[in-house]
Structure 1
């Protein structure tokens, strides 16, 4: 596991997303996660929806099911899943700004809260999913134990995660992985083996794993291009980026592009089931 050199807690993660909220929405939209491309013709908006659809296909919830979205962002995936599958979704985000900009929808309830101290009832949900949120949690074994606690027997958990390359070289750790953790407010970044071990300890049985690194890597090239254009042409975005406390995240965009190209970061999607 790769650890950030600086301490990252829930408050600093919330501050990151609250402060950068206008920038995220302007540059990427309501889905705060990677896109999933199956061909070169798809645009970013189609690609981010494709990732949400990939997740719900793995969950395969029956109509009327209760789902929990762990780290729901603006709730875009929750709203899409609720509409498509006729289910109810409870979402948690650390960011008050994200919750504020989430349009209401029947069957979707978003709250500001910390998954590691969520207060949800035992065995209350038929399925759970986390799209790129586990990385922001300091206690990753507790991330899994809480998921197992709130799931009903037989319930599924799907996790999309940024994963550190197993046995990454010291150069990759020093110049790519640790700075990405620090600049992106990730307390740590686990490997595929770390995630498998934590889930197993929580009593979750692995159903499926896919490495989708090649299909999602275009995300960061597009983001960097949009950021550079905005810095040149949009005075408001330029001012916000240059004055932001969390502006160091901009340095992670080229790092992420290189990390995907050299294999330092993998994009893994897991599906587990509670016994």
Structure 2
């Protein structure tokens, strides 16, 4: 587990996203997560929506189900899933700015709340499916993140987690100069390995029914962000002031670290499919 030299908490995470709100939306849009290129010909917008579709496919959602988006950002993923899959979604974000944007773009069946997932207030076994796209990294207590997901899921329910992970080749300078600063600048209390995630999920009661390393399909995200950010800094004086004057500007300027972390194998991107045992105690079909 990589832990930054300055501890991070939920307050720091909320401040990060509130502070950089205009920059994130200008540079990348209302999906605050990687794109997923299957053919390589997708536009960035199509790529981020493709990642949402990949999550929905792994969840095997059925119309009418009740779902939870853990760390929902601007609510774009919740809205896409609700519309395309016919489900109801409750999203949790720490950011008031993100929730305000979501409230201005309502979709039937989607409810976005400003609330910490670790104190979500949901009843036991009250949802059919849950997902966390690049939000588990921000959890101060990752074992509890998994435990809460297991608690609120109904028997047989699925959790899909898309996560930034520590690669097997992350020793020495890669950990010190790439991953630790990425955690610090991105307000990540820690970054775990695949093995650590699977151990925490299993300890919470889940069965790991699927895992895929999609690093090569998502890494292009940061090259696009770098190009867009450079253009913004060069041509938009107002946005340049916002980006460079932000309290959390280190995250904006750490994009080269992300590119190098993927290129060197220090960081990986994994998609986990986890299943809670059904009424008969079985985990269901693998996949």
Q: TM-score, normalised by structure 2?
A: 0.95
How far 1:251 sits from its partner (Å)? 2.7
Retained in 1: the 8 A contact 2:209–2:274? yes
| Count of matched residue pairs | 275
CA displacement at 1:167 relative to structure 2 = 5.8
Shift of residue 76 of structure 1? 0.5
**Matched residue, 1:197:** 199
Q: Quick one: distance in 1 between partners of 2:245 and 2:254?
A: 17
Q: Shift in Å at residue 61 of structure 1? A: 1.1
Mapped contact 1:69–1:130 kept (Cα < 8 A): yes
Contact 2:128 2:157 in 1 (8 A): yes
Correspondences of 1:37-56 after superposition (within 5 Å):
37-56=37-56
Secondary structure at 2:42 match in 1: coil
CA distance in 1, matches of 2:218, 2:156: 30
Alpha-carbon distance between aligned partners in 1 of 2:152 and 2:123, rounded to the nearest angstrom:
6
SS at match of 2:254: helix
Q: Secondary structure at the match of 1:188?
A: coil
- Structure-1 residue corresponding to 2:283: none
Would you say the 8 A contact 1:131–1:161 is kept in 2?
Answer: yes
Post-superposition shift, 1:105? Answer: 0.9
1:216 and 1:40 map into 2 onto residues whose CA distance is: 10
Structure 2 equivalent of residue 134 of structure 1: 136
TM-score (norm 1): 0.99
Indicate the SS of the match to 1:35: coil
Give a deviation string over 1:197-224, Cα, whole Å, max 9, x none.
Answer: 0000000001110000000000000001
Q: Which runs of 5+ in 2 are unaligned?
A: 278-287
1:180 — aligned with what? 182
User: How far, CA to CA, are the matches of 2:144 and 2:168 in structure 1?
Assistant: 22
**Aligned residues of 1:166 and 1:192 also touching (Cα < 8 A):** no
* Deviations, residues 122-156 of structure 1 (Å, cap 9, x unaligned): 11100000000000011000000000000001000
Superposition RMSD in Å? 0.7
Report the Cα distance in structure 2 between the residues aligned to 1:222 and 1:21, rounded to whole angstroms. Answer: 18
State the secondary structure of the residue aligned to 1:63.
coil
Secondary structure in structure 2 of the residue aligned to 1:101? helix
Aligned to 2:258: 256
**Hey, what's the Cα distance between the residues in 1 that align with 2:275 and 2:100?**
33
